[in-house]
A and B are shown apart, each in its own frame.
Chain A
Amino acid sequence: MENFLQERQRQIYRKGEQPYQLDCDKQSASGSVSQRACVFCGSRVVLYPIADAIHIVHGPVGCAAYTWDIRGSLSSGPELHRLSFSTDLREMDVVMGGEKKLYAALHELIDKYEPKAAFVYATCIVGIIGDDVEAVCKRVSREKNIPVLPVHSEGFKGTKKDGYKAACDAMFQLVGMAPVDDIPHISVNILGDFNLAGEIWIIREYFEKMGVHVVATMTGDARIHDIQRAHGAALNLVQCSGSMSHLAKSMKERWGIPFKRVSYFGVEDMARALYDVAEFFKDESVTARTAELVRSELSEVLPQLNAYKKDLRGKRAAIYVGGAFKAFSLVRALRTLGMTTALVGSQTGNREDYEQLRELCDEGTIIVDDSNPLELASFLEEKNVDLFIGGVKERPIAYKLGVGFCDHNHERKEALAGFKGMLNFAREVHSTVMSPVWKLTPRKRENNAKEYAA
């Protein structure tokens, strides 16, 4: 602990060892090497999967280059989201302003790719050089007759969460623009699922089997037209609550549509999400079909999960993810596999999230907000875990120390949602925890560290 930053001490809590207190929702400490990104990242993450829109990053080239085809968000049709567009601002543009370049870029890209809408992301310097992005968007929208939406995502203007909000604000401008007469009453929007490895298709199928119509999926496999008629749904289901609850709240205010927080990870949470929806509609047929669906899925999945559980029972895991809501599901999913969680943390959890985590976790579990590589490495060593669940930036910390790893972030290529997804999750956890390679690593052998002495 000696090298942990003083100003971060209150963002680390050990259950049972001290009275509960955990700071969160703070700007990351300068020089901390936070695992968080910026406002732009938050916006980009949320809007990225909208497949029939072009996404143009207004700024120097980096922000667009680093987010080119970055996630496994699948589309059943157009794939414009997999292209990376930048105005590539140069020194002269910084001096003279980038509006003309943005205008020209929008025109040529809309002509070439014929998108249903365009999102224009403002990056750090755009606000500083004084470009009126809003005005350019309005003008092009008028001239091209499609929505051209500015996303106010200057990197320094807050945290990733503010980026989520900016994205939701941009999307909210679309909602209500198309007729909804043909939408049946028993209908939902899926918010906060990004169709990684086709996950939203799994969930959508469950709802269809239940007799629940899905209006818009936001934003996995999303289409502009569906978002425009999202106000016709009876209920919003919000997963990854951090990223899209703002849109759900706006829709509740404007259209009176209620929303529910759900999670599709792990058999418990998945089943609960389906039952919650059935309960909301209070329709006998839906209720009966839901019970039948859950029963049939569980009877298929549980025996296989139990086979993995035999090997995994008693193994220890660490979790560090973007949103805390996902962490709840992961703690429960790991329990289903007989595993315990020794460390759990998130980049953007809020007070209620962490309260709930504390209730859920075992004694001795470390709960951490907005952590960094040195803290995480130290926790992995201290807790001697067998598995670390996180994203790309956490992976080398685990692997360097000879700890198994499971990617539960945007780059995953295996569907982990739904009942089927739980089976994939179990398979992946099993294949990393049970690998024989750990036996060769220095952490599991004695007197090995000297081998590298120069």
Chain B
Amino acid sequence: MSTFPILQKKAVLPNYAAVRNACKLCTPLGATLAFRGIEGALPFLHGSQGCATYMRRYLISHFREPMDIAASNFSEASTVFGGTEVFRQGIRNVQSQYHPALIGIATTCLTETIGEDMNLLMNRLRKSDEAGTLPILVPVSTPSYRGTHIDGFHAVALALVKQLAGNDGKPGSQINLFSGMISPADLRYLKEVLEDFHLEATLLPDYSETLDGPSLAEYHKIPEGGTKIDSIRAMGGAQCSIEFGRTLREKNTAALHLQKEHGVPAHQLGMPIGVRETDAFFDLLEKIAHRAMPRKHALERGRLIDAYVDGHKYVYGKRAIVYGEEDFVIGMVAFLAEIGVVPVLCASGGESGCLARSIAEVAPDLDDRTTIREGMDFATMEEVAQDLQADFLLGNSKGYTTARHMKIPVVRVGFPIHDRFGGQRILHLGYRGAQNLFDRIVNTLLTEKQENSPVGYSYL
């Protein structure tokens, strides 16, 4: 275990044809998750039955909540002759069972490959006898051979504002917040912060209740909560938009679309993880709300810095492997760098092309001490990590196999958490989230130290 952040040669990275233990999921999964954050919406996959079932299972194992995803359920015949009939039937059956206000339709590799024309399918449906009773249908193109789950997630926000946000609403004082893929606890925290700033805001999406809901006496077909459809319609008249994600700049995103089409100024920030990135978020809120940071949050910030001081020696020079969605990794690197942990390997299955540049922005002093790699899988990560003398892993539970082989702990954050309880309640964002992360990292390191010590100190 190294104590000093020594300069060392960058890891040599091999290139494989196969992906081994992927550090990414397929595009439509992110889309179904985002659609789950819209009030009265049901996600629908235009493709095979298995896609819906696998994604449901994957999401349920993390959120521990019902997660219904419908599928048009392609057969051999519909693959040959086209999916018009299964699509029509699927939408009709979802309607009669769930009475949704909106159906979020994501395509899959199958339907994209056979060239299903979603607009044509929609038009046929709208022209049919059932047109009068149709809920809002929002299609989004999410072939699993293009991008990863995070692209599917952002594509839904963009599709929703493109289709629903209008110009007609009077310019209001409300703001739009596109948070990206975060936990229900993070969403609740953001809502609290905005409320404390007396800002009326629309979060898109918002699965804070739909995927972390209360115990019920009667089953809800579609869980309560989610971004209101009327609020999405009003997004074109908002005062401004905030969008988290440094990799999203210059991309076609929801906030940039609203800026271009409706003149809503877009503020793109990094994910507010750690003090500095959170400061940028709060600075912006102060400007937008014309009020100073509420005392509650100033105190949380103060306590966090105090904790950084109290715990700095436990973490200084420790070496971490960070992985997950790119913007999440960037936020975590910003946080680690400010507490003196060296992220020796920053990896993602995503391939935005912006990971290295963004990490250089949030942690300019890392230089040669880090290896940054897009398009990486866990097996390669493990091979690369052999020479990195890492002290811990920071990321989702899928890093456990690697951590077990390396005999180092994994601090579980992000999505998915399949081997621990309460993944949906992990808070990452803001001063409060940083406090949570800091406490957990310090305690993980202390546990390691204590358990590997022949003495077994009772004061640390």
B 426-439 to A, binary, CB cutoff 8 A, 1 in contact else 0:
00000000000000
**In the docked arrangement, what's the CA distance between A32 and B108, Å?**
18
B78 cross-chain contacts in A, Cβ below 8 A: 156
Is the Cβ of B53 less than 8 Å from the Cβ of A88? Answer: no
Q: Is A280 an interface residue (CB 8 A)?
A: no
Q: Is B340 an interface residue (CB 8 A)?
A: no
Distance of A210 from chain B, by nearest CB (Å)? 38
Q: Is A278 an interface residue (CB 8 A)?
A: no
Q: Is B49 an interface residue (CB 8 A)?
A: yes
A393 cross-chain contacts in B, Cβ below 8 A: 53, 56-57, 60
Q: Is A22 an interface residue (CB 8 A)?
A: no
**In the docked arrangement, what's the CA distance between A417 and B219, Å?**
33
A452 cross-chain contacts in B, Cβ below 8 A: 214, 224
Q: Is B185 an interface residue (CB 8 A)?
A: no
Q: Is A176 an interface residue (CB 8 A)?
A: no
Q: For A451, give the chain B residue with the smallest CB separation.
A: B214
The segment out of A55-63, A199-207, A265-273, A336-344 that lies at the interface is A55-63
Distance of B58 from chain A, by nearest CB (Å)? 5
Contacts A156-B79, A378-B219; is A33 near B20 (CB within 8 Å)?
no
**In the docked arrangement, what's the CA distance between A28 and B398, Å?**
32
A68 cross-chain contacts in B, Cβ below 8 A: 21-22, 398
Q: For A124, give the chain B residue with the smallest CB separation.
A: B110
Is the Cβ of B49 less than 8 Å from the Cβ of A36? Answer: yes
Distance of B222 from chain A, by nearest CB (Å)? 10
Interchain CB contact (< 8 A) of B25 among A35, A62, A395, A443:
A62
Distance of B202 from chain A, by nearest CB (Å)? 16
Interchain CB contact (< 8 A) of B90 among A27, A30, A448:
A30
Q: Is A46 an interface residue (CB 8 A)?
A: no
Interchain CB contact (< 8 A) of A125 among B92, B98, B109:
B109
Distance of A199 from chain B, by nearest CB (Å)? 21
**In the docked arrangement, what's the CA distance between A254 and B170, Å?**
77
Is the Cβ of B89 less than 8 Å from the Cβ of A31? Answer: yes
B18 cross-chain contacts in A, Cβ below 8 A: 56, 85-88, 104-105, 108-109
Interchain CB contact (< 8 A) of A30 among B19, B55, B71, B218:
B71
Interchain CB contact (< 8 A) of B68 among A40, A373, A441:
A373
Q: Is B173 an interface residue (CB 8 A)?
A: no
Is the Cβ of B97 less than 8 Å from the Cβ of A59? Answer: no
Is the Cβ of B20 less than 8 Å from the Cβ of A34? Answer: no
Q: Is B221 an interface residue (CB 8 A)?
A: yes
Q: Is A350 an interface residue (CB 8 A)?
A: no
Contacts A91-B146, A381-B219; is A31 near B94 (CB within 8 Å)?
yes
Which A79-129 residues sit within 8 Å CB-CB of chain B? 82-91, 93-94, 101, 104-105, 108-109, 123-125, 128-129
**In the docked arrangement, what's the CA distance between A41 and B56, Å?**
14
Number of A residues, CB within 8 Å of B = 82
Is the Cβ of A83 less than 8 Å from the Cβ of B216? Answer: no
Contacts A85-B20, A91-B146; is A29 near B57 (CB within 8 Å)?
no
Which A48-87 residues sit within 8 Å CB-CB of chain B? 56, 59-69, 82-87
Is the Cβ of A91 less than 8 Å from the Cβ of B145? Answer: yes
A123 cross-chain contacts in B, Cβ below 8 A: 109
Contacts A37-B54, A91-B145, A374-B97; is A31 near B75 (CB within 8 Å)?
no
B92 cross-chain contacts in A, Cβ below 8 A: 31
Is the Cβ of B72 less than 8 Å from the Cβ of A442? Answer: no
Most buried by B among A82, A91, A393, A399: A393
Is the Cβ of A156 less than 8 Å from the Cβ of B144? Answer: no
A61 cross-chain contacts in B, Cβ below 8 A: 19, 22, 24-26, 144, 148, 349
Contacts between chains A and B (CB distance < 8 A), count: 246
B148 cross-chain contacts in A, Cβ below 8 A: 61
A451 cross-chain contacts in B, Cβ below 8 A: 214
Q: Is B217 an interface residue (CB 8 A)?
A: yes
Is the Cβ of A397 less than 8 Å from the Cβ of B66? Answer: yes
A 384-405 to B, binary, CB cutoff 8 A, 1 in contact else 0:
0000000011011101111000
**In the docked arrangement, what's the CA distance between A159 and B44, Å?**
19
**In the docked arrangement, what's the CA distance between A61 and B21, Å?**
10
B58 cross-chain contacts in A, Cβ below 8 A: 66
Is the Cβ of B215 less than 8 Å from the Cβ of A33? Answer: no
Q: Is B320 an interface residue (CB 8 A)?
A: no
Is the Cβ of B93 less than 8 Å from the Cβ of A41? Answer: no
B215 cross-chain contacts in A, Cβ below 8 A: 400, 402, 441-443
A33 cross-chain contacts in B, Cβ below 8 A: 52, 68-71, 94, 97
Q: Chain B, interface size: which category?
A: 35 or more
Which B126-161 residues sit within 8 Å CB-CB of chain A? 143-146, 148
Contacts A83-B20, A87-B17, A157-B76; is A397 near B145 (CB within 8 Å)?
no
Q: Is A39 an interface residue (CB 8 A)?
A: yes
A399 cross-chain contacts in B, Cβ below 8 A: 64
**In the docked arrangement, what's the CA distance between A29 and B93, Å?**
8
Q: Is B87 an interface residue (CB 8 A)?
A: yes
B146 cross-chain contacts in A, Cβ below 8 A: 90-91
B108 cross-chain contacts in A, Cβ below 8 A: 124
Q: Is A349 an interface residue (CB 8 A)?
A: no
A4 cross-chain contacts in B, Cβ below 8 A: 97
**In the docked arrangement, what's the CA distance between A442 and B219, Å?**
11
**In the docked arrangement, what's the CA distance between A451 and B215, Å?**
11
Q: Is B48 an interface residue (CB 8 A)?
A: yes
Q: For A438, give the chain B residue with the smallest CB separation.
A: B215
Is the Cβ of B22 less than 8 Å from the Cβ of A27? Answer: no
**In the docked arrangement, what's the CA distance between A419 and B216, Å?**
37
Q: Is B47 an interface residue (CB 8 A)?
A: yes
B61 cross-chain contacts in A, Cβ below 8 A: 392
Which A360-386 residues sit within 8 Å CB-CB of chain B? 372-374, 377-378, 380-381
Q: Is B73 an interface residue (CB 8 A)?
A: yes
Interface residues of B (CB under 8 A from A): 16-22, 24-26, 28-29, 44, 47-58, 60-61, 64-76, 78-79, 86-87, 89-94, 96-98, 108-110, 113-114, 143-146, 148, 213-219, 221, 224, 349, 379, 398, 401
Interface residues of A (CB under 8 A from B): 3-7, 27-41, 56, 59-69, 82-91, 93-94, 101, 104-105, 108-109, 123-125, 128-129, 155-159, 372-374, 377-378, 380-381, 392-393, 395-397, 399-402, 441-443, 448-449, 451-452
Q: With A38-B48, A61-B148, A124-B47 given, can you name 13 additional A-B contacts, CB distance below 8 Å?
A: A30-B72, A31-B93, A34-B53, A36-B53, A60-B145, A62-B28, A63-B54, A66-B25, A66-B55, A82-B401, A85-B19, A396-B60, A443-B217
**Top-10 shortest CB links A-B:** A38-B50, A62-B26, A31-B93, A31-B90, A30-B90, A105-B18, A155-B48, A377-B219, A104-B17, A60-B144
A selection of 10 A-B contacts at a CB cut-off of 8 Å is A31-B90, A31-B94, A32-B97, A65-B25, A86-B19, A109-B18, A158-B76, A378-B219, A396-B64, A442-B217
